[in-house]
Amino acid sequence: MADLVDVILRNSANPTMIEGGYQTNVIPGRATAAVDGRFLPGHEQELLDTIDSPLLPSVRREVIHHDVAMQTEFSGTLVDAICAAIRAEDPDGHPAPYCNAGGTDKKAFATIGINGFGFKALRVPPDLPYSRMFHGVDERIPLESLRFSTPVMQRLLQTC
Protein backbone atom coordinates (compact mmCIF):
# COMPACT_ATOMS: atom_id res chain seq x y z
CA MET A 1 0.00 0.00 0.00
CA ALA A 2 2.95 2.35 0.57
CA ASP A 3 3.49 2.92 -3.17
CA LEU A 4 -0.19 3.64 -3.71
CA VAL A 5 -0.38 6.06 -0.80
CA ASP A 6 2.92 7.80 -1.60
CA VAL A 7 1.64 9.24 -4.89
CA ILE A 8 -1.54 10.65 -3.36
CA LEU A 9 -0.05 12.50 -0.39
CA ARG A 10 1.75 15.17 -2.39
CA ASN A 11 1.92 16.92 -5.71
CA SER A 12 4.05 15.24 -8.35
CA ALA A 13 5.76 16.25 -11.57
CA ASN A 14 7.52 13.87 -13.93
CA PRO A 15 9.29 14.73 -17.18
CA THR A 16 7.79 12.35 -19.72
CA MET A 17 9.13 13.68 -23.04
CA ILE A 18 12.38 15.50 -23.81
CA GLU A 19 13.37 16.68 -27.28
CA GLY A 20 16.27 18.75 -28.59
CA GLY A 21 18.98 18.78 -31.20
CA TYR A 22 19.35 16.99 -34.48
CA GLN A 23 22.89 15.65 -34.26
CA THR A 24 25.07 14.16 -31.51
CA ASN A 25 27.92 16.67 -31.78
CA VAL A 26 25.84 19.86 -32.10
CA ILE A 27 24.49 21.80 -29.09
CA PRO A 28 20.79 22.41 -29.76
CA GLY A 29 19.55 25.96 -30.10
CA ARG A 30 16.26 24.87 -28.60
CA ALA A 31 15.01 22.03 -26.42
CA THR A 32 11.63 21.13 -25.00
CA ALA A 33 10.45 18.96 -22.14
CA ALA A 34 6.95 17.84 -21.33
CA VAL A 35 6.19 17.46 -17.65
CA ASP A 36 3.18 15.56 -16.35
CA GLY A 37 2.11 17.36 -13.18
CA ARG A 38 -0.52 16.13 -10.75
CA PHE A 39 -1.71 18.31 -7.88
CA LEU A 40 -3.82 17.68 -4.84
CA PRO A 41 -7.14 19.53 -4.61
CA GLY A 42 -6.39 23.14 -3.65
CA HIS A 43 -2.64 22.88 -4.34
CA GLU A 44 -2.37 23.75 -8.04
CA GLN A 45 -0.41 26.98 -7.52
CA GLU A 46 2.01 25.21 -5.19
CA LEU A 47 2.79 22.69 -7.96
CA LEU A 48 3.26 25.42 -10.57
CA ASP A 49 5.57 27.37 -8.24
CA THR A 50 7.62 24.22 -7.67
CA ILE A 51 7.95 23.62 -11.41
CA ASP A 52 8.78 27.26 -12.10
CA SER A 53 11.35 27.75 -9.32
CA PRO A 54 14.38 26.16 -11.06
CA LEU A 55 13.62 27.66 -14.49
CA LEU A 56 16.02 30.25 -15.89
CA PRO A 57 14.54 33.53 -17.18
CA SER A 58 15.17 32.32 -20.75
CA VAL A 59 12.95 29.28 -20.18
CA ARG A 60 9.19 29.54 -20.37
CA ARG A 61 6.51 27.17 -19.24
CA GLU A 62 3.51 26.53 -21.45
CA VAL A 63 0.43 24.61 -20.36
CA ILE A 64 -0.39 21.91 -22.88
CA HIS A 65 -3.36 20.46 -21.04
CA HIS A 66 -4.98 21.78 -17.88
CA ASP A 67 -7.33 19.78 -15.73
CA VAL A 68 -8.89 19.93 -12.28
CA ALA A 69 -8.21 18.05 -9.06
CA MET A 70 -11.45 16.66 -7.69
CA GLN A 71 -12.59 15.47 -4.31
CA THR A 72 -15.91 14.21 -3.06
CA GLU A 73 -17.46 12.63 0.01
CA PHE A 74 -17.33 8.83 0.26
CA SER A 75 -21.04 8.44 0.93
CA GLY A 76 -24.36 7.90 -0.79
CA THR A 77 -26.30 5.15 -2.54
CA LEU A 78 -23.58 4.49 -5.14
CA VAL A 79 -20.93 4.08 -2.42
CA ASP A 80 -23.27 1.75 -0.53
CA ALA A 81 -23.77 -0.36 -3.69
CA ILE A 82 -20.00 -0.49 -4.35
CA CYS A 83 -19.30 -1.62 -0.79
CA ALA A 84 -22.06 -4.24 -0.91
CA ALA A 85 -20.78 -5.63 -4.24
CA ILE A 86 -17.27 -6.04 -2.86
CA ARG A 87 -18.39 -7.56 0.44
CA ALA A 88 -20.65 -10.04 -1.37
CA GLU A 89 -17.58 -11.50 -3.09
CA ASP A 90 -15.15 -10.91 -0.22
CA PRO A 91 -16.78 -10.71 3.24
CA ASP A 92 -13.41 -9.68 4.70
CA GLY A 93 -13.02 -6.88 2.12
CA HIS A 94 -12.67 -3.34 3.36
CA PRO A 95 -13.76 -0.84 0.69
CA ALA A 96 -12.01 2.44 1.33
CA PRO A 97 -11.80 5.81 -0.37
CA TYR A 98 -8.52 6.97 -1.79
CA CYS A 99 -7.19 9.67 -4.05
CA ASN A 100 -6.76 8.42 -7.60
CA ALA A 101 -3.44 9.68 -8.92
CA GLY A 102 -4.45 8.90 -12.48
CA GLY A 103 -6.67 10.75 -14.86
CA THR A 104 -10.36 10.13 -15.26
CA ASP A 105 -13.13 11.14 -17.64
CA LYS A 106 -15.10 12.00 -14.51
CA LYS A 107 -13.33 15.37 -14.48
CA ALA A 108 -15.46 16.52 -17.41
CA PHE A 109 -18.61 15.83 -15.42
CA ALA A 110 -17.26 17.55 -12.30
CA THR A 111 -17.16 20.87 -14.15
CA ILE A 112 -20.96 20.71 -14.56
CA GLY A 113 -21.69 19.58 -11.01
CA ILE A 114 -22.17 15.82 -11.49
CA ASN A 115 -20.71 13.83 -8.61
CA GLY A 116 -19.05 10.48 -9.27
CA PHE A 117 -16.51 7.94 -8.12
CA GLY A 118 -13.74 5.91 -9.62
CA PHE A 119 -13.97 2.26 -8.73
CA LYS A 120 -11.41 -0.51 -9.08
CA ALA A 121 -12.95 -3.86 -8.28
CA LEU A 122 -9.64 -5.61 -7.88
CA ARG A 123 -8.15 -7.92 -5.34
CA VAL A 124 -4.45 -8.24 -6.06
CA PRO A 125 -1.81 -10.33 -4.28
CA PRO A 126 0.01 -8.34 -1.58
CA ASP A 127 3.40 -8.89 -3.26
CA LEU A 128 2.27 -7.53 -6.65
CA PRO A 129 3.65 -3.99 -7.26
CA TYR A 130 0.25 -3.00 -8.64
CA SER A 131 0.57 0.80 -8.41
CA ARG A 132 3.95 0.76 -10.20
CA MET A 133 2.48 -1.15 -13.12
CA PHE A 134 0.09 1.58 -14.31
CA HIS A 135 1.08 2.64 -17.81
CA GLY A 136 4.31 0.69 -17.48
CA VAL A 137 5.92 -1.57 -20.05
CA ASP A 138 4.40 -4.59 -18.30
CA GLU A 139 0.96 -3.26 -17.32
CA ARG A 140 -1.24 -6.19 -16.36
CA ILE A 141 -3.27 -7.80 -13.58
CA PRO A 142 -3.29 -11.47 -12.58
CA LEU A 143 -6.12 -13.62 -13.96
CA GLU A 144 -7.26 -14.30 -10.39
CA SER A 145 -7.82 -10.55 -9.94
CA LEU A 146 -9.91 -10.46 -13.11
CA ARG A 147 -11.90 -13.48 -11.91
CA PHE A 148 -12.67 -11.58 -8.69
CA SER A 149 -13.60 -8.31 -10.38
CA THR A 150 -16.03 -9.80 -12.92
CA PRO A 151 -18.77 -10.84 -10.44
CA VAL A 152 -18.20 -7.68 -8.37
CA MET A 153 -18.83 -5.50 -11.41
CA GLN A 154 -21.76 -7.65 -12.54
CA ARG A 155 -23.38 -7.35 -9.09
CA LEU A 156 -22.79 -3.58 -8.99
CA LEU A 157 -24.26 -3.02 -12.46
CA GLN A 158 -27.31 -5.16 -11.66
CA THR A 159 -27.83 -3.22 -8.42
CA CYS A 160 -27.56 0.19 -10.00
What is the chain's mean pLDDT, rounded?
A: 87
SS3 category, 51: helix
pLDDT at 99 over 90: no
For position 89, what pLDDT does the model report? Answer: 94
Residues 10-33 have a mean pLDDT of 93
CB 13 within 8 A of CB 36: yes
Q: Is the pTM of this model over 0.75?
A: no
Angstrom distance (rounded) from CA 101 to CA 11: 10
**Which of 94, 89, 110, 107 lies closest to 1, judged by CA?**
94
